[in-house]
Structures are given as C-alpha cells and as structure tokens.
Amino acid sequence: MTQQPIGQGPEPFDPNNPQQPPQPVGGAQPSVQALSPGEEQGWGVAVHLGGVFLSWLVPLVVWLVFRERSRLIDDHGKEALNFQITLFIGYMISVVLMFVLVGILLWIALWICAIIFGIMASMAAYNRRPYRYPISIRFIK
C-alpha cells in the first residue's frame, strides 16, 4: 500500500476540465439485503422473547432495523410491539390499582400472559407462520 505525499490527494472537481470522470448524481440508496431464512427465524424468535424481558424496547429495535429486509420480521415485529405497548398500558393501570390490592393480581396476570403468549408467538415465528396476540391493541398497522 503506497501513501500519497501530504497535499497530493484527489483534486477537487473542476467543471472546466473535461478529463475528469463524471461525479455521481443524487443520493442513491444502498440496496437492502434480505435476511436468510435462518436469520428470519432467529430474529423472529428474539422479537417476541425479548419483549418478555425488556418490554417494548427489543421489539421496537428489531422491527426498526429489520422491517425492510424481511416481511416476516415486519409482521412479527409490529405484532410484538403492539402487544408490548398494550401490556405496558396494563402495567400502568395495575400500578394505580395496587393501592386497592387488585393491581398486584393484575400485574401477575399480565406477566403470565406475556410469558405464555410470547412463547407461543416465538414458536410461530420459528416455524415461519403468522401470529396474532389475542389481547392486543393495534397501534401500528
């Protein structure tokens, strides 16, 4: 690898010099590479099980990163994110209801639903099938 002397870098574009190669026009977007089936399965499982541990954060990040690379991740990511937002609202309601002791039972019920439905959804993603959570408000369509 040879180094250029200081000050000997590429010359700036000169419109009066016909010998310069044409400069690219516009901001061409790089092509998006599709995920392999194995990657789709892995991220599909992660989008659902990650929500069990870190609420809406994992589904949001995975969906935003991979939604254009895989239709499966786009669908499962939206579904998991909608479910986690619905659960978050339920958790906030249960915090308010903890003052009358009903909130603790609601919190436990929501947590159990998150685990059971998260496992069921991750199994569907692993098998490359669509899944709809039974109790979910569709914020993102």
Closest CA to 88 of 113, 64, 125: 113
Residue 11 has pLDDT above 60, yes or no: no
Q: Which residue has the tokens 């993603």?
A: 125
How high is the pLDDT of residue 38? 86
CA distances from 30 to 27, 33, 34 (A): 9, 9, 13
Q: Tell me the mean pLDDT in the region 46-59.
A: 90
Residue 28 has pLDDT above 60, yes or no: no
Residue 109 has pLDDT above 90, yes or no: yes
Residue 24 has pLDDT above 60, yes or no: no
How high is the pLDDT of residue 141? 87
Least confident of 26-35, 49-58, 81-90, 111-120: 26-35
